[in-house]
């Protein structure tokens, strides 16, 4: 539930009565009434950026993504109009584009999400988030080569962003570029030695190269860090199968399926339909 209608560094309202009423209504859980107050504030002061942004936050907070996108388009138009030489307004405009792209993604409107990231790259080519966000959408659209290009652009700008390094492994793994996956995961591990998913991805890359002993070392490390993650055991079971150790493969698959029953998280639960029972 949203609790604020304020925008950090942007408090240019000349109508504190409506803004205060909106905050009070929001604290009472009256979202629609709070939005109405914000709309009244805009009628009184058409340049009230705080009110525009507040409407976006409320819609997002109550999970109404379709109407949030309507509010986002209005807010973006107004922020663009007033951005000028204001760094604070420009920064918040970038944030609005990111939120718009993510909202489209949540609604599975991937082309619209990509278009929003295009807009972000256009206005902020110096920021990595536009490239990394667009890269992830391109990956989901199956545009793997284009996805890697955007991830590399994002990493050129910010080479120590662990999240970007991790998500960049996805298209490379699908493309079979296991060496690049290992390079990326090594960087992640240097930055965050307890990043279990990095060891997992590295293990998958080792396995793809036929380096099964190295794959086991990395998957063992992933399980040591997060012993409750079903995917790690399922991935290790595949390595044991490749090594023709069916006993350990079955044991790991059973463990993965039991963990999935408790905590979920298994990428392919269908594998458990044929899981052996002890």
Domains of the chain: 1-125 (1.25.40.10)
What pLDDT sits at residue 16?
A: 67
Buried b / exposed e along 242-266 (16+ C-beta atoms within 10 A): eeeeeeebbbbbbbbbebbeeeeeb
Structure token digits, residue 218: 């990395």
Indicate the pLDDT class of residue 6, thresholds 50, 70 and 90.
very low
Comparing 10-19, 224-233, 255-264, which segment has the lowest mean pLDDT?
10-19
Q: Give me the percent of the chain exceeding a pLDDT of 70.
A: 92
Indicate the pLDDT class of residue 10, thresholds 50, 70 and 90.
very low
Query: Whole-angstrom Cα distance, residue 209 to residue 36?
Result: 59
What are the residues whose beta carbons fall under 8 Å from the beta carbon of 159, sequence distance 6 or more? 187
Indicate the pLDDT class of residue 119, thresholds 50, 70 and 90.
very high
What pLDDT sits at residue 213?
A: 98
Q: Give me the percent of the chain exceeding a pLDDT of 90.
A: 82
- Looking at the predicted structure, is the pLDDT value of residue 129 above 70? yes
- How many other C-beta atoms lie within 10 A of the C-beta of residue 131? 25
Question: Which residue has 């920021």 as its token pair?
Answer: 127
Comparing 81-90, 219-228, 267-276, which segment has the lowest mean pLDDT?
267-276
| Residue 82 vs residues 91, 96, 154, 180: alpha-carbon distances, Å | 12, 14, 28, 43
Indicate the pLDDT class of residue 273, thresholds 50, 70 and 90.
confident
- Kindly report the pTM of this predicted structure: 0.87
């Amino acid at each position: 539930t949203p609790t604020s209608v304020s925008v950090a560094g942007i408090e240019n309202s000349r109508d504190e009565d409506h803004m205060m009423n909106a905050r009070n209504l929001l604290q009472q859980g009256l979202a629609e009434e709070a939005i109405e107050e914000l709309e009244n504030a805009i009628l009184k002061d058409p340049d009230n950026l705080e009110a525009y942004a507040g409407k976006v936050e409320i819609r997002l907070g109550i999970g109404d993504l379709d109407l949030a996108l309507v509010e986002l388009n209005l807010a973006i138009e107004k922020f663009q109009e007033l951005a000028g030489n204001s760094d604070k307004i420009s920064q918040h405009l970038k944030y609005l584009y990111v939120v718009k792209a993510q909202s489209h993604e949540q609604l599975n409107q991937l082309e619209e999400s990509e278009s929003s990231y295009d807009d972000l790259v256009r206005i902020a080519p110096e920021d990595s988030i536009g490239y990394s966000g667009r890269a992830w959408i391109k990956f989901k659209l199956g545009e793997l080569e284009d996805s890697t290009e955007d991830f590399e652009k994002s990493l050129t700008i910010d080479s120590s962003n662990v999240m970007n390094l991790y998500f960049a492994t996805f298209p490379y793994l699908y493309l079979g570029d296991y060496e690049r996956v290992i390079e990326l995961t090594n960087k992640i591990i240097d930055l965050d030695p307890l990043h279990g998913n990095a060891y997992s991805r590295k293990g998958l890359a080792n396995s793809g190269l036929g380096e099964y002993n190295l794959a086991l070392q990395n998957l063992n490390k992933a399980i040591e860090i997060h012993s409750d993650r079903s995917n790690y055991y399922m991935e290790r079971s595949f390595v044991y199968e490749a090594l023709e150790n069916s006993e350990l493969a079955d044991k790991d698959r059973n463990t993965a399926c039991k963990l999935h029953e408790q905590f979920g998280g298994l990428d392919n639960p269908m594998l458990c339909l044929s899981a052996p029972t002890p």
